[in-house]
Chains A and B, each alone.
Chain A
Amino acid sequence: GAVVSQHPSRVICKSGTSVKIECRSLDFQATTMFWYRQFPKQSLMLMATSNEGSKATYEQGVEKDKFLINHASLTLSTLTVTSAHPEDSSFYICSARGATNQPQHFGDGTRLSIL
């Protein structure tokens, strides 16, 4: 149980393009979803926390206008990287959690490469 699907797994696009990444909880309702960024051989850095039906809470230093997060339902959250540039190239991972005090379950990540 507790499967989280993240799509797409890999994106390669030109600078200036906006890219949308989807995160779905397949067999449970996710009241909270999290978006992380991971640089090579480094740990996960939390970008933002989203609760269904409310605005996302962004971590310090993360541009909310650059990384748009929508959590419209209990099973879907999206991250849109707007006007992406090469420095936005990274591995983005989402996670979802049902009830509080329960483990977060992670998607398989999206490798974003901006040329």
Chain B
Amino acid sequence: SQQGEEDPQALSIQEGENATMNCSYKTSINNLQWYRQNSGRGLVHLILIRSNEREKHSGRLRVTLDTSKKSSSLLITASRAADTASYFCATDGGGSNYKLTFGKGTLLTVNP
């Protein structure tokens, strides 16, 4: 079963606007990561937030984590057409292999 569930499933915005995507999960986590996938390509790692962190920034990206609500959000500010992609959250519960469980993803379309 999917650990992470992103919403919305699809989001369409205009260039320059901010985009917010949410992710919820069900069990305890060690880390939560966000990835981007362009159509037909592999995944690009965006940001990792640990379970004891609440917020993290990287360039135009801001990720928050609320472990009490088992949820995370990814904010992309001042979006660009090149940000058009699917965005996935992935959680791991620690352990020897730190296996990732992916959500279903949010398809973000940024219109020029």
Query: Does B29 sit within 8 A of A, measured CB to CB?
Result: no
CB atoms of A43 and B45 under 8 A apart: no
Q: Answer yes or no: A52 CB below 8 A from chain B CBs.
A: no
For chain A residues 85-111, which have a beta carbon within 8 Å of chain B?
A: 91, 93, 95, 97, 100-101, 103-109, 111
Known A101-B98, A105-B45; judge A43-B104 contact (CB<8 A): yes
Interface size on B, residues (CB 8 A): 24
Shortest A6–chain B CB gap in Å is: 7
List residues of chain B with CB within 8 A of the CB of A49.
97, 99
**Please, how many residues of chain A have a CB less than 8 angstroms from a CB on the other chain?**
26
Distance of A43 Cα from B33 Cα, bound (Å): 14
Which residue in chain B gives the minimum CB-CB distance to A93?
B42
Q: Which residues of B contact A (CB under 8 A)?
A: 2, 30-31, 33, 35, 40-45, 48, 88, 94, 96-105
- What are 27 pairs between A and B in contact, CB < 8 Å? A2-B45, A6-B42, A32-B97, A34-B100, A42-B104, A43-B104, A43-B105, A44-B43, A44-B88, A44-B102, A46-B99, A46-B101, A49-B97, A51-B97, A95-B43, A100-B96, A101-B30, A101-B94, A103-B33, A103-B45, A103-B48, A104-B33, A106-B42, A106-B43, A106-B45, A108-B42, A111-B40
